[in-house]
Amino acid sequence: MATKKTSTFSTSKNRGSMMPWLGIAFIVILFDQLSKIAITKMFVLGQEKAITGFFNLVLAYNRGAAFSFLSNQGGWQRYFFTAIGVVAVVFIIYLLRKHAGQRLFCWALALVMGGAIGNVIDRLLYGHVIDFLDFHLASVGHFPAFNIADSAICIGAVLFIYDELRRVNKNQ
C-alpha cells in the first residue's frame, strides 16, 4: 500500500504548498531592490523630481522605522529594526507553514515578509532604508517618503484586516 508523501513546506492539517507564497515574497523583494538600485543610480540624496501635482520621486535615507521613528538615535536602531525584521520573517514562515492553504491570509503574510526582507537588506547593506516615493497634498504637505517594501507591508496589513473581518462575519 503506497503512502502519500508530504512536502516539508506543507502540514498534515493543511496541504497547501508554501512555494507560491515564497514566490510572492521573492517578487516583492526583487522589485523593491531593483527600484532602489535604479533610484540611487539616477538621484543624489535629497534630489527630487516632480512627476504629477501630488507625486514626486525623491532619494531619501531612513535610519529609523516608519515615519523616521528613532532615526536620530546613535545607530543602535539599525540593529534593533534589523532584528525585528528577522524575527518577523521567522514568525511569518511558521505561519505560512501552518496556514499555507488560506489564500488571503497567506497573500498578506507573503507581502509583509517580502517587504520586511527588502528593508532588512537595506539596513544590512547600507545602514538605512532607501525611500523614494513622495506623495503630497497642498493642504496637508508631504507624507513621509516610502518604497515598494513599505507599500507591500501596508497592503499586507490591509489584507490581514480584511481577511479577519471576513472571517468574523462568516462566524456570526
**How many angstroms from the chain centroid is the CA of residue 111?**
6
What residues form DSSP beta bridges with 55?
135
- Of the residues 32, 122, 134, 150, only one is catalytic, namely 150
CA-CA distance, 153 to 160, in Å (whole number)?
10
- Of the residues 32, 122, 131, 134, only one is catalytic, namely 131
Strand order in the sheet with 141-142: 48-50, 55-62, 129-137, 141-142
Confirm whether 32 is a catalytic residue. no
CA-CA distance, 42 to 39, in Å (whole number)?
5
Confirm whether 150 is a catalytic residue. yes
Catalytic amino acids? 131, 150
